[in-house]
């Protein structure tokens, strides 16, 4: 059982306990333990097998250590099984609806028998909910909107979360004897911000053995189908995996087809048709009837994607660009951009430490950035008004800078810029003192409150902040959290104009929950001539690993290394940050 799987059990325990009305401290302890174990490098399985004392892991007490040990040894957690009898698991979906917290879900369940999102909707629509204390008409309208958004997002998993579970599965499958090729296609390969399911294309000498390896994988919750060429399973996390085994000579055709997107495929097929050919998941053919029939006509290309693109008169199109947004035309004209690569990044200028709401110390973050090979970095803890996040007042910032000086004394393995993520207040003024500004090398600004302002007011607020003479970067511009919080209403043209006028870069926030600016807007920002910073917004050492995810979104936005400031050497970054 992987650490991610153990963490999922603890999170489920936390969620069900919370709805069941358990002590909030215990609920929080479960959640913290889940986060810790998810981050832990060493497999907990190994620790348990070695008889190690799990309470040595920070944040794991005796009670949780015992639960985890039982889970690893027996495959289940008795307390969780008992809770699942007591609290209907459908309520775990109900609390995913925006506007419904665990306490309210419990009320709805006990008073009205609501145990699913469908029942919640029915109760909201027929007026039963408004009979409950604390559920007014406004609240109900809110819940109905929440249900709509829940349905839009449901069934999709964050790309960053998939990364965490997929590597282990791929390693398992590639180890099967006789597997010649095994690649992930679909939205995952295109690095779409959320994925509906995982599509794997493989070539294997013994397809049955590969299929068995998938269905017997320890994290499989259900086998959805098992045939000669296609096997589908559902993992414990709810993620569906489709495996297709194809002949070696048609691997390129299959990989191209199942990578998509549908829009991209349609354009390629159109191009084939214009030449009197046809393209399907077996490859590119001349003659025969166009359509789904197999191997009609003479084979032109099929073993590799390169070959197929070349035969169509196209440069190879990187999967991130396969969205049907002009990439086929650009490939025909030899005008594809030289996309930014992960290795281009020289530093990360957005991260938090234990000085505000981060989980790792300043020195741990510095060491981790050195280990990543960065030339420079910035520590950007929150400003004062975010008391919840432990924002920095003048005194705290001074102490942080003193600690930084101490940490860096006698070492020159990285340059650490003194930064801050400054909160934009409701009226667009900045939550920062002159003393703080005087002592900062880089100033990020961002919205953390009043997400619901109407567009005109929200835009005015943000633009005012961006025109402040000391601002360098507008961080997580739309404030969205995938599946959790909608983007703020903002006139991006006006925001981009303000950025340009005051030499402010926009951030692409690489945190797996945010990926903000979204790719389409990021592309527009670069086209508007803005500079981009990719920042991880890491709240732990592990969070720094999100840089690759951010780069993949930048690639989806057609960005080159030149568009991104933190691919430049330090001197150029400093020149950009030094305002007039
Ligand atoms: P997802 O899973 O919803 O995140 O998105 P995809 O793009 O992975 O879609 P999926 O899993 O339904 O199918 C994988 C690829 O297979 C898709 O990107 C293109 C190709 N494909 C599947 N069905 C069709 C189809 O009906 N027409 C065309 N042209 N391509 C298809
Ligand atoms: Ca898919
Ligand atoms: Ca699929
Ligand atoms: Zn923030």
Q: Are 235 and 220 in contact (CB under 8 A)?
A: yes
Beta bridge partners of 158: 194
Q: Give me the residue label for tokens 């048709």.
A: 273
Distance 186 CA to ligand 1 centre (A): 6
- Whole-angstrom Cα distance, residue 509 to residue 378? 14
Model confidence, pTM: 0.84
Pocket test of ligand 1: the residue of 199, 259, 268 to mutate, having most ligand atoms within 8 Å of its CB, is 199
- Whole-angstrom Cα distance, residue 314 to residue 306? 9
Q: Whose CA is nearest to atom 19 of ligand 1?
A: 260
**Ligand 1 nearest atom to the CA of residue 186, by list position:** 8
Distance 257 CA to ligand 3 centre (A): 11
| Mean pLDDT calculated for residue range 236-264 | 95
Nearest ligand atom owner, CA of 187: 1
pLDDT score, position 296? 62
Within 8 A by CB and 6+ apart from 18, the residues are 24, 27, 102
pLDDT score, position 232? 97
**Ligand 1 nearest atom to the CA of residue 188, by list position:** 8
Pocket test of ligand 1: the residue of 155, 158, 186 to mutate, having most ligand atoms within 8 Å of its CB, is 186
| Mean pLDDT calculated for residue range 300-306 | 95
- pLDDT of 212-222, one tens digit each? 999 999 889 89
Task: Please give the C-alpha separations between residue 433 and each of 468, 474, 535, in angstroms, as whole numbers.
Answer: 13, 18, 24
pLDDT at residue 39 tops 90: no
Within 8 A by CB and 6+ apart from 499, the residues are 466, 474, 505, 506, 525, 530
pLDDT at residue 485 tops 90: no
| Packing angle, helices 547-556 and 519-527, rounded to 10 | 70
Nearest to 362 by CA among 403, 409, 393: 403
**Ligand 1 nearest atom to the CA of residue 195, by list position:** 4
Dihedral (C-alpha) 310, 314, 318, 322: value to the nearest 10 degrees? -120
| Mean pLDDT calculated for residue range 394-421 | 96
| Mean pLDDT calculated for residue range 350-354 | 96
- pLDDT of 324-351, one tens digit each? 999 999 999 999 999 999 999 999 999 9
**Ligand 1 nearest atom to the CA of residue 197, by list position:** 2
Residue 140 belongs to what H/E stretch? helix 137-153
Q: Higher confidence at residue 386 or residue 436?
A: 436
State the pLDDT confidence band at 546, using cuts at 50, 70 and 90. Answer: very high
State the pLDDT confidence band at 1, using cuts at 50, 70 and 90. Answer: confident
pLDDT at residue 386 tops 70: no
Q: Whose CA is nearest to atom 28 of ligand 1?
A: 262
pLDDT score, position 289? 62
Regarding the beta carbon of 196 and ligand 1, being less than 6 Å apart is answered: yes
3-state secondary structure of 113: coil
Strand order across the beta sheet in which 298-301 lies: 277-280, 283-286, 298-301
pLDDT score, position 291? 52
Supply the mean pLDDT for the chain. Answer: 93
3-state secondary structure of 294: coil
Regarding the beta carbon of 561 and ligand 1, being less than 6 Å apart is answered: no
131-145, 237-251, 460-474, 552-566: least confidently modelled range: 131-145
| Packing angle, helices 547-556 and 159-174, rounded to 10 | 100
The two tokens of residue 228 are 């000669």
DSSP 503-535: T-EEEEE--TTT-BS-HHHHHHHHHTT--EEEE
Regarding the beta carbon of 159 and ligand 1, being less than 6 Å apart is answered: no
Regarding the beta carbon of 199 and ligand 1, being less than 6 Å apart is answered: yes
Nearest ligand atom owner, CA of 156: 1
């Amino acid at each position: 059982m992987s650490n991610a799987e153990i963490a999922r059990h603890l999170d489920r325990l936390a969620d069900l306990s919370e709805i069941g009305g358990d002590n909030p401290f215990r609920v929080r302890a479960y959640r913290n333990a889940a986060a810790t174990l998810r981050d832990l490098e060493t497999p907990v399985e190994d620790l348990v097998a070695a008889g190690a004392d799990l309470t040595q892991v920070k944040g794991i007490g005796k009670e949780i250590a015992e639960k985890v040990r039982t889970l690893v040894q027996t495959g289940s957690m008795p307390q969780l099984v008992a809770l699942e009898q007591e609290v209907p698991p459908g309520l775990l979906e109900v609390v995913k609806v925006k506007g419904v917290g665990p306490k309210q879900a419990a009320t709805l369940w006990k008073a009205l028998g609501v145990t699913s999102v469908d029942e919640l909707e029915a109760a909201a629509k027929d007026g039963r909910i408004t009979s409950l204390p604390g559920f007014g008409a406004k609240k109900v309208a809110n819940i109905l909107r929440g249900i709509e958004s829940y349905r839009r997002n449901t069934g999709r998993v964050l790309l960053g979360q998939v990364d965490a579970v997929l590597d282990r599965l791929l390693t398992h499958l590639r180890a099967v004897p006789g597997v010649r090729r095994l690649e992930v296609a679909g939205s995952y390969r295109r690095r779409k911000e959320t994925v509906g399911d995982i599509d794997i294309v493989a070539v294997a000498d013994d397809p049955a053995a590969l299929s068995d390896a998938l269905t017997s994988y320890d994290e499989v919750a259900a086998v959805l189908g098992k045939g000669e060429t296609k096997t589908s399973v559902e993992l414990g996390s709810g993620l569906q995996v489709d495996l297709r085994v194809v002949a070696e000579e048609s691997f390129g055709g299959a990989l191209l087809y199942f990578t998509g997107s549908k829009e991209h495929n349609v354009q390629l097929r159109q191009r084939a048709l214009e030449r009197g050919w046809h393209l399907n998941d077996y490859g590119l053919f001349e003659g025969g009837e166009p359509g789904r029939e197999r191997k009609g006509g003479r084979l032109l290309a099929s073993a590799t994607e390169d070959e197929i693109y070349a035969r169509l008169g196209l440069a190879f199109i990187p999967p991130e660009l396969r969205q049907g947004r002009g990439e086929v035309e650009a490939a025909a004209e030899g005008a594809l951009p030289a996309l930014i690569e992960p290795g281009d990044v020289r530093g990360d200028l957005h991260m938090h430490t234990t000085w505000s709401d981060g989980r790792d110390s300043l020195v741990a973050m510095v060491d981790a950035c050195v280990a990543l090979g960065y030339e420079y970095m910035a520590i950007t803890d929150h400003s004062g008004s975010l008391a919840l996040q432990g924002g920095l007042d003048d005194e705290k910032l001074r102490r942080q800078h003193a600690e930084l000086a101490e940490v860096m004394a006698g070492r020159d393995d990285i340059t650490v810029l003194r930064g801050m993520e400054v909160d934009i207040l409701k009226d667009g003024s900045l939550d920062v003192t002159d003393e703080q500004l005087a002592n900062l090398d880089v100033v990020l600004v961002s919205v953390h409150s009043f997400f619901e302002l109407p567009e005109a007011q929200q835009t005015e607020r943000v633009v005012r902040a961006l025109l402040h003479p000391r601002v360098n970067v507008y961080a997580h511009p739309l404030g969205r959290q995938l599946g959790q919080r909608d983007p703020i209403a903002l006139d991006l043209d006006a925001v981009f104009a303000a950025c340009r006028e005051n030499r402010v870069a926009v951030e692409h926030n690489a945190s797996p929950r945010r990926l903000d600016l979204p790719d389409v807007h990021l592309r527009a920002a670069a086209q508007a001539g803005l500079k981009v910073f990719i920042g991880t917004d890491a709240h732990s050492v592990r969070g720094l690993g999100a840089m690759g995810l951010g780069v993949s979104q930048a690639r989806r936005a057609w960005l080159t290394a030149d568009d991104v400031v933190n691919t430049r050497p330090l001197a150029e970054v400093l020149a950009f940050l030094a305002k007039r």
